[in-house]
C-alpha cells in the first residue's frame, strides 16, 4: 500500500491544491492531506475550519483523507507509515524554499522522499494569500477556490 502525505497550511485550500490532490490520488493508493497546526502563526481560518473545508473538497475522492498535525512533518509521515511527501511546485520562486525543506527533511529522515508535482499552468500564479486578497476586493472567487470555500471566505473577510 503506497501512502503519500500532502502537507500544507491550506488557509484556505485553493483549486491549485485540489489539482495536486487529484493527481496524487491517481498515483498513490492513499493520500493523507496533513493540515499544519502551526501555533507560531495566526491563520485566517482555524485548524478545524481548514480541515472541514478540505474534507468537503475531497468528498468524492475515495482514497484521500484529511488530518491535522503538529510538530515535524517527517514524524507525522512516520506515524502514518508513509515514506512519501508530496509538494506542488508553481514556479522558480518556490524552488529554493521547497528544495530546502525537502533536503532538510531527508537529512533527518533519509527513508522519506519528497515528490514534486508541477502545478498545472492555469494555477501557476495561485496562492492562498492571493485568494484572501481577492476576497477583500470582492473578486469572483469561482476560478480560484472550491465552491464550498467561497461563502466561508466571504463571511470571514466581512
Ligand atoms: O502550505 P505551506 O505553508 O507552504 O506548508 C508548509 C509545511 C506545512 C509543509 C511546512 O511548514 C512543514 O512541513 N511544517 C512542519 C514542521 C517541519 O517539519 N519543519 C521542518 C521542515 S521545513
Contact 36, 69 (CB under 8 A): yes
Enumerate the domain spans of the chain: 3-157
Looking up cell 485566517 gives 44
State the pLDDT confidence band at 158, using cuts at 50, 70 and 90: confident
Mutate to test the pocket of ligand 1, among 4, 5, 8, 99 (most ligand atoms within 8 A of CB): 8
At 53-83, the pLDDT tens digits run: 999 999 999 999 999 999 999 999 999 999 9
17 is an active site residue: yes
- Mean local confidence (pLDDT), 114-125: 96
Q: Which of 22, 41, 65, 151 is catalytic?
A: 41
CA 60 and chain centroid, separation: 17
- Residues 7, 94: Cα–Cα separation, whole Å: 15
Cβ 9 under 6 angstroms from ligand 1? yes
Cβ 115 under 6 angstroms from ligand 1? no
What's the fold here for domain 3-157?
Rossmann fold (3.40.50)
At 7-33, the pLDDT tens digits run: 999 999 999 999 999 999 999 999 999
Mutate to test the pocket of ligand 1, among 17, 40, 98, 101 (most ligand atoms within 8 A of CB): 101
Predicted pLDDT at 120: 96
> 102 CA to middle of ligand 1, Å?
10
State the pLDDT confidence band at 41, using cuts at 50, 70 and 90: confident
2 is an active site residue: no
pTM value is: 0.97
Nearest CA to ligand 1 atom 4: 8
30 is an active site residue: no
At 26-38, the pLDDT tens digits run: 999 999 999 999 8
Nearest CA to ligand 1 atom 16: 72
Exposure of 137 by Cβ count < 10 A (0-12 exposed, 13-18 middle, 19+ buried)?
A: exposed
Amino acid at each position: 500500500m503506497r501512502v503519500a502525505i500532502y502537507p500544507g497550511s491550506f488557509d484556505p485550500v485553493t483549486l491549485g491544491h485540489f489539482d495536486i490532490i487529484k493527481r496524487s490520488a491517481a498515483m498513490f493508493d492513499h493520500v493523507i492531506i496533513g493540515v499544519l497546526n502551526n501555533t507560531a502563526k495566526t491563520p485566517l481560518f482555524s485548524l478545524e475550519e481548514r480541515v472541514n473545508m478540505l474534507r468537503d473538497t475531497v468528498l468524492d475522492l475515495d482514497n484521500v483523507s484529511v488530518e491535522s498535525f503538529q510538530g515535524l512533518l517527517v514524524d507525522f509521515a512516520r506515524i502514518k507509515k508513509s515514506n512519501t511527501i508530496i509538494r506542488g511546485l508553481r514556479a522558480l520562486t518556490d524552488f529554493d524554499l521547497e528544495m530546502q525543506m525537502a533536503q532538510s527533511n531527508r537529512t533527518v529522515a533519509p527513508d522519506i522522499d519528497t515528490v514534486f508535482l508541477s502545478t498545472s499552468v492555469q494555477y501557476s500564479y495561485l496562492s492562498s494569500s492571493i485568494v484572501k486578497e481577492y476576497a477583500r476586493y470582492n473578486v469572483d472567487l469561482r476560478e480560484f477556490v472550491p465552491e464550498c470555500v467561497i461563502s466561508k471566505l466571504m463571511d470571514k473577510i466581512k
